[in-house]
């Protein structure tokens, strides 16, 4: 697993425990779902920025009846990992 520094493990107070799923073979462990505000805090951005990314389809989310959105910790981790930038790229040894 990539090193996410202070992003991992996610603080339990950010988890919406009422939205977790039971353990299954296809889904061995679910960290839970985050609200918009919790996901913004997890990503260290404003809620406004996250809403903008959501409206552009740039960040994965779970749509709930009534239009509310939740964010899977696992999907956010994958989304972050795809955007990691290696600061040493192009440097001479």
User: Percent of the chain scored above 90 by pLDDT?
Assistant: 48
Burial code (b: 16+ CB inside 10 Å, e: under 16) for 60-72 equals: ebeeeeeeebbbb
Q: Give, in order, the Cα–Cα distances in Å from 19 to each of 37, 48, 57, 76, 87.
A: 15, 23, 22, 16, 37
What global pTM score does this model have?
0.60
Of residues 25 and 90, more confidently modeled: 90
The full set of domains in the chain, from first to last, is 5-81 (1.10.10)
3-class secondary structure, 55: helix
Q: Tell me the pLDDT tens digit for each residue of 43-73.
A: 999 999 999 999 999 999 999 999 999 999 9
pLDDT of residue 25: 43
């Amino acid at each position: 697993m990539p090193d996410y520094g202070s992003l991992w493990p996610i603080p339990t107070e950010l988890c919406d425990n009422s939205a977790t799923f039971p353990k299954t073979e296809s889904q061995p462990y679910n960290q839970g779902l985050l609200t918009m505000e919790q996901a913004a805090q997890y990503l260290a951005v404003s809620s406004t920025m996250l809403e903008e990314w959501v409206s552009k389809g740039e960040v994965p989310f779970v749509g709930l009846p009534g239009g509310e959105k939740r964010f899977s910790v696992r999907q956010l981790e994958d989304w972050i990992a795809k955007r990691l930038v290696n600061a040493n790229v192009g440097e001479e040894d």
